[in-house]
Amino acid sequence: MDKFHVPSVPSTSRSSDSIEPEKKKQKLVRRQYSGDYLSYGFFWCGDKTCPIPECIVCGEKLTNAAMVPSKLKRHLSTKHSSLSSKDVNYFRRLLEQNQKQAAFMTTTVCVSDKVQEASYKVAELIVKAKKPHTIAETLLMPACKEMVKIVLGSEAASEISKIPLSADTISRRVIEMSSDIEDIMKEKIKSSGKFSLQIDESTDISGHAQLLAYIRYIDGNVIATNFFFCKQLPERATGEEIFRVTNEYVLKNELKWKDCVSVCTDGAAAMTGRVKGFVAQVREINSNIRCDHCLIHREAIVAKSLPPSLKVVLDEVVKVVNFVKLRPLNSRLFSVLCQEMESEHTTLLLHTEVRWLSRGKVLTRILELKDEVRAFLTVERHEYADLFADDEWVCKLAYLSDIFVHLNELNRKMQGRNENILTSMDKIQGFVNKLNLWIQRIENGSFEMFSTVWSLASGNKVMMDLIKEHLQILQQRFKKYFGDSVEDIDWVRNPFVAISESLPIHLQEELAELKADRTLKLQLLEVPLDTFWLAVRSEYPAISEMAVNMLLPFSTTYLCELGFSTLTEIKTSKRERLRSVDEEMRLALSMISPRISHLCAAKQVQISH
């Protein structure tokens, strides 16, 4: 029996002799355009090193490999058979026409981009000037066209007229730029991790309650302050409603109350109420939040503390001013009298409780015009005419004028965008130190620090006792409303000198290490305080966080008061139906600039006709 034969399987491996040589890669051929191809109705486009044939008639683009007469001629004969008999001059004219149209479209697009950007810029300027949107069409555009026509000619004026500046267009631009600023600010606050707020409420000209807030956060290596929101309270301005509106906006921007370091408000019950106030409801979410009563409002409350005899003088001054100012005829007659007496001023100033500096200004002005006021009241046979002839009454008026000049100066020092607890409390402590010095001077028989009353009643024992009584009242009230000194946080101002025994041991240890770093000691002299503490965050995180938490809080609601002044300019009697002012206020008050080029790139250009 034959054995079973297994055929041999040929090996899959090839010997070196049987390997066929690889074919050489063919060199890539890039065809170039020839002027003769124009007779077939083709020109070129794309890269010059690898041109692409483009049909002049239909605009169809072929591949570079089709850049041969046969394929170009086939396209002309099959798709444009009626033009196959045309000579090269026809296609040359058609090419020139297409190129002119392309150039015109390019120019139009470029002009459109510019006019759109100009439209955004004009909208931004209008809002920052607190003007109505209609001013663009009614004043700015006609004035601009006339100026350009005179200086550059009619053609340039026609180009200017293409800028879209209708009231509706400006409104849309404002909303878009406000939204862009809001997005930028949201990202900055989220990356900051911590923030503080100042909030205040007021009523606009139409009687609606407006809630305004500013925010302070870490922006890189500085602490930045910016406008946060201005929202209308639909019903009552209660603590619950204020918290609801604020909380909705905080959550809308994906922020967390646990990251809020402090809230600064005025002393209204809706804000500071222990049960239903805004502060109480915030503390239910974040029990560690710091809540401050505006230092300027506290100083204004202290300034109201007067002995009875001085309070009577102030009330009488207010009545005299009201008699002169509240009747137009009296105001005109008094102004004429001042002109005849060659006075420096011709009018008196009204006292308003909500204006911090008005009381001091009223007293200073009426003291400067005391002779004119006395003459006017005498002519009018007013019962207070004799007061200005009473030396004791005039001395009291002079003292009130002097002391309120000092109080107003303190008030102005605490106003500012970059004020914080440390800087404001330093100014308060400085004024308290001056009160102590003044009391000592009064006890020594001198009140030369009050120059006006000193010139009128030098050595008057009764006035000395009265002034001392008032200064002691101020001293007690400052201690009540502001407490003692803030030396326990001096280490924030200068960590290399101040003692920090009140800090926990782990913070004292970290601060001790920081004190030993001489390079940081030199750096503190060269950069702002907030920049210094933010720069050492990575190396000394715990003590840096503690210091930043002291620098973030607002000390006053000055910015909110400034915002309400802007609101009165934006929402006037002619614009009282303007319900939502949030966008206008943000664009007018924000320190962040909108990304106009980014907004233009995302929109289709519409040229005005």
Give the pLDDT confidence of 100-111 residue by residue, as tens digits.
Answer: 777 665 555 444
Q: What share of the chain is helix, strand, coil (3-state, %, to 5)?
A: 60, 10, 35
Average pLDDT over residues 54-76: 85
Q: Which helix (H) or strand (E) holds 455?
A: helix 451-456
- Over residues 549-598, the pLDDT tens digits come to 999 999 999 999 999 999 999 998 888 877 678 999 999 999 999 999 88
Q: How far apart are CA 342 and CA 345, in angstroms?
A: 9
Pairing of the two strands 42-45 and 260-265? unpaired
Residue with tokens 């030993």: 516
Decide if pLDDT at 298 tops 70. yes
Decide if pLDDT at 225 tops 90. yes
Q: Are 233 and 255 in contact (CB under 8 A)?
A: no
- Over residues 324-377, the pLDDT tens digits come to 888 899 889 989 998 988 888 888 887 776 677 778 888 888 888 888 999 999
The percentage of the chain sitting over the pLDDT mark of 70, rounded to a whole number, equals 91
Least confident segment among 4-13, 53-62, 274-283: 4-13
- CA–chain centroid gap for 384, Å, is 48
pLDDT of residue 103: 65
pLDDT of residue 106: 55
Phi, psi torsion values for 61, nearest 5 degrees? -110, 130
* Res. 10 pLDDT band, cuts 50 70 90: very low
pLDDT of residue 499: 77
Residues with Cβ < 8 Å from 106, sequence gap 6 or more?
A: none
Least confident segment among 195-199, 346-350, 474-478: 346-350
Decide if pLDDT at 214 tops 80. yes
Decide if pLDDT at 117 tops 60. yes
Decide if pLDDT at 86 tops 90. no
- Total length of the chain: 609
Dig out the tokens for 260 from the structure: 């809020």
Q: What is the mean pLDDT of the chain?
A: 85
In the three-class reduction of DSSP (H, G, I as helix; E, B as strand; rest coil), residue 213 is classed as strand
Decide if pLDDT at 261 tops 70. yes
Average pLDDT over residues 193-220: 92
Average pLDDT over residues 540-549: 92
Dig out the tokens for 468 from the structure: 């001392």
Q: Are 284 and 349 in contact (CB under 8 A)?
A: no
Least confident segment among 114-123, 315-324, 419-428, 598-607: 598-607
Q: Are 239 and 275 in contact (CB under 8 A)?
A: no
Q: Please indicate whether residue 34 or residue 351 has the higher confidence score (pLDDT).
A: 34
